[in-house]
Structure 1
């Protein structure tokens, strides 16, 4: 587990995006995995400071796409209107399906322009992180 948490890698434009979003919005991370590993990754990437909460599936007893992890997050953030929430994620089966399950808007980060051959249909699709700003 120590090796899994030893790296913190960022996508191009990630820091710039969260710096701009933090000025306007409340931000949280929902991630599947082991708490120790995930928190170490975010700390090494110096990203934790931008997020109000980092929700790790190990702490909730549920993994994305289960509605339980989203309800847990909504409770932590005091969200009463899911229609004002957007999830941005790279996984159709966990991030986007989870967002659909919880009634929030979904944005699939698809930098490699992979075809979507599933029945999972995100509301938005982007190829670069900066495109998130156009959705707000």
Structure 2
């Protein structure tokens, strides 16, 4: 059963301006440790790839916070929710700490997708309840 759905769109120009104004502090506030390593690697190769990566993660976290109905209130924090990629490239949610516990207590599972174009990043998140398996 669907618990919640969230979507978000992010203007890459706004992310670029924030990075120019605040530097890496902005990325360090939004990204978890594994995401931050990817951000730095992509940005070192091509600035635009790093910005797009940050924007997709920002957007996905906004969408996730909407899907779970908390917004950015505890236990939902920017860094407790990471959007990582499987070897296939598929984005997946990785939750840590109190947010992971909150999510598990409610028997939830999340699905995320992200995309970006020249000036926008967008994401969509579906959170579902994990049905209890009946005793056989």
TM-score between the two structures when normalised by the length of structure 1? 0.26
**More strand per residue: 1 or 2?**
2
TM-score between the two structures when normalised by the length of structure 2? 0.26
Larger Cα-atom Rg: 2
Higher RCO (C-alpha 8 Å, min separation 6): 2
